[in-house]
């Protein structure tokens, strides 16, 4: 039905989360709102400590015990925030799958690759060991790990790229509707990174699923994403179609981030200095008043220091910045 096609796969509204530190709670996510449509590839772009992984863990109910969590995240109409653990267990790995960072650490060191994938299959469906191994084999092959010799290997026997493929196989074996990949190209050299990103996009397209790519690298985002969301200090400061964001960024942080990307080899310049964003990444325990980016912003105005900027929308391109706030 047409109406179903317009219904977003994931709708996050005003998501707020914080970690318990000692006796107080440090707020990390502040009013995060976004949507993912079926079949879309969306990149969540931001630097480490910016809250990206926190947003995902919050949605999946995997925050540490005692964390604060408020707001809404509706997946195919089902509310995830506050849902009972049994419901979330059924969703994790089957409807929404998460590919964590650092495959070497995310793989069990004492279980063979194929069994690790098979266990994920068995976690969601009552099938026998042989059947689950068969499905695991298929998933591993789809992830690009063809030789069955590798299937029987342990994590430390595989190369970085191979481990990444095992983790991907775990994520796709149950054919989820949403795949969340956290820095999938992080530890790899450039050609392997490209391969993995293309693989992810291809797999997701074949399954008719959506992909949420978490990355700190604008190039990775530009390579496969349809939409980009830029996160800074736990808030989405800009979001829109990938081309718009990457070619004509609005928010000063996005602009600064894109300027920090080094020129591709071949573009020679005598000055080796890079246009860097000044200042240090934000400390969540002591966030600045008003716009959290203003201490580092080259275009800051007086109002930025005491008022948080509202959301401004220009077509499907949104940003939170006073530079674009329409005068009343």
Partner 1 sequence: MLSRYLLRRFAHIAFLLAGISALSFALLELAPGDFLGEAKLNPQLSAQTIAALREQYGLNKSLLQKYIYWLGSVAKGDFGVSFAYNLPVSTLLWPRMLKTLELTVSSLTLSWLIAVPLGVWSAANRRGWLDRVVSFAVSALLAIPDLVLACIALLVAVRSGIFHSGDPVLPVTVLVLGALPILVRHTRAALLSVSAEPFARAALANGIHGFELWFRWLLPAAANPLASLFGLSVAGLISSSLLVETILGWPGLGPLFLEAIGARDFYLVIGPVILSAAFLAGGTLLGDILLYMVDPRIRLES
Partner 2 sequence: MTSRDSASPILRVRGLTKTYRRRKWIGSAGDEVRALRGVDLDLCAGKTIAIVGASGGGKSTLARCVAGLEPATSGEIFFRDQKLGKPGDARHHIQMIFQDSGASLNPRFSVAQALLEPLAIRQERNLNTSERLRQVGLPETLASQGTSQLSGGQKARLALARALAALGESGAAVLILDESLASLDLSVQAQMINLLVDLQEKRGLAYLLIAHDLRLAAHLADEIAVLFEGQIVERGAPHRLFAAPAHPHTAYLLKTLAAPDGSSRA
| Token pair in block for residue 94 | 């089957």
Site for partner 2 (CB under 8 A): which residue of 148, 152, 243, 289?
243
Under 8 Å CB-to-CB from 48, ≥6 apart: which residues? 216, 281
Least spacing, CB of residue 93 vs partner 1, in Å = 3
Whichever of 275 and 302 has its CB closer to partner 2, that residue is 275
Among 10, 242, 250, 291, binds partner 2 (CB under 8 A): 242
CB 55, min distance to partner 1, A: 14
Query: Closer to partner 2 at the Cβ: 257 or 320?
Result: 257
Q: Is 104 in the site for partner 2 (CB under 8 A)?
A: no
Question: Treating both helix axes as pointing N-terminal to C-terminal, what angle do 129-142 and 113-122 enclose, rounded to 10 degrees?
Answer: 120
- Report how far residue 322's alpha carbon sits from residue 327's, in angstroms, rounded to the nearest whole number: 10
Interface mask (CB under 8 A) for partner 2, residues 123-162, using x and -? ------------------------------------xx--
Token pair, residue 92, equals 């994790």
Question: Is 25 an interacting residue with respect to partner 2 (CB under 8 A)?
Answer: no
Token digits for 120? 């994920």
Q: Is 96 in the site for partner 2 (CB under 8 A)?
A: no
- In angstroms, rounded to a whole number, what is the distance separating the alpha carbons of residues 54 and 114? 29
42: closest CA among 164, 156, 181?
A: 181
Q: Does residue 65 belong to the site contacting partner 1 (CB under 8 A)?
A: yes
Specify the residue, 94 or 321, whose C-beta has the smaller distance to partner 2.
Answer: 321
Structure tokens at 258: 């894109």
Residue selected from 21, 78, 105, 301 as contacting partner 1 according to rule CB under 8 A = 105
Q: How far is CA 111 from CA 106, 114, 119, 124, 132, in A?
A: 12, 8, 10, 19, 15
Site for partner 2 in 47-76 (CB under 8 A): 47-49
Q: Which of 324, 297, 288, 298 is nearest to 309 (CA)?
A: 324
Per partner kind, with CB cut-offs from 5 to 8 A, the member of partner 1, partner 2, none near residue 42 is: none
User: Site mask, partner 2, residues 204-223, x = CB under 8 A?
Assistant: ------------xxxxxxxx
Q: How many C-beta atoms surround the C-beta of residue 277 within 10 A?
A: 18
Which residue number, 123 or 261, has a Cβ lying nearer to partner 1?
123
Using rule CB under 8 A, residue 109 touches partner 1: yes
Phi, psi of 14 (to 5 degrees): 50, 45
Give 132: exposed, middle or buried? Use CB within 10 Å, 0-12, 13-18, 19+. Answer: buried
- Residue 111, interface with partner 1 (CB under 8 A)? yes
Contacts with 296 (C-beta within 8 Å, 6 or more apart), sequence order:
253, 256, 277, 278, 279
Are 121 and 181 a contacting pair, CB within 8 Å?
no
Closer CB to partner 1, 77 or 109, in the complex: 109
Q: Which residue has tokens 């109406």?
A: 3
User: Scanning residues 163 to 192, which ones bind partner 1 (CB under 8 A)?
Assistant: 167, 170-171
- One residue of 50, 93, 184, 240 binding partner 1 per CB under 8 A: 93
Please identify which residue in 69, 83, 119, 323 interacts with partner 1, judged by CB under 8 A: 119
Chain residues in the site for partner 2 (CB under 8 A):
47-49, 159-160, 189-191, 193-194, 197-198, 201, 216-224, 242-243, 246-247, 256-266, 268, 272-278, 280-281
Residues at the contact surface with partner 1, assessed by CB under 8 A? 60, 62, 65, 89-94, 97-98, 100, 102, 105-111, 119-120, 122-124, 154, 156-157, 167, 170-171
């Amino acid at each position: 039905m047409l109406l179903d096609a317009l219904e977003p796969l994931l709708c996050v509204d005003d998501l707020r989360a914080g970690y318990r530190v000692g006796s107080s709670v440090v707020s990390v996510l502040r009013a995060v709102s976004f949507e993912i449509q079926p079949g879309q590839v969306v990149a969540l772009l931001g630097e480490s400590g910016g809250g990206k992984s926190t947003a995902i863990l919050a949605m999946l109910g995997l925050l540490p015990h005692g964390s604060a969590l408020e707001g809404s995240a509706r997946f195919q109409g089902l509310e995830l925030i506050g849902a009972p653990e049994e419901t979330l267990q059924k969703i994790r790995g089957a409807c929404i799958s998460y590919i964590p960072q650092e495959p070497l650490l995310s793989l069990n060191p004492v279980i063979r690759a194929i069994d690790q994938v098979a266990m994920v299959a068995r976690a969601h469906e009552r099938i026998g060991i042989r059947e689950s191994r068969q499905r695991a084999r298929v998933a591993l092959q789809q992830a690009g790990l063809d030789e069955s010799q590798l299937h029987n290997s342990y994590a430390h026997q595989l190369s970085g790229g191979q481990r990444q493929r095992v983790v991907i196989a775990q994520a796709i074996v149950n054919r989820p509707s949403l795949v969340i990949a956290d820095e999938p190209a992080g530890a790899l050299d450039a050609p392997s990174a490209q391969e993995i990103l293309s693989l992810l996009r291809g797999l997701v397209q074949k399954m008719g699923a959506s992909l949420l790519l978490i990355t700190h690298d604008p190039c990775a985002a530009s390579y496969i994403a349809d939409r980009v969301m830029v996160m800074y200090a736990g808030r989405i400061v800009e979001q829109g179609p990938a081309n718009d964001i990457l070619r004509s960024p609005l928010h000063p942080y996005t602009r600064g981030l894109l300027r920090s990307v080094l020129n591709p080899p071949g573009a020679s310049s005598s000055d080796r200095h890079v246009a860097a964003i000044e200042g240090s990444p934000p400390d969540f325990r002591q966030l600045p008043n008003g716009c959290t980016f203003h201490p580092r912003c080259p275009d800051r105005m007086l109002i930025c220091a005491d008022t948080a900027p509202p959301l401004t929308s220009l077509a499907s391109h949104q940003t939170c910045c006073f530079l674009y706030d329409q005068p009343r």
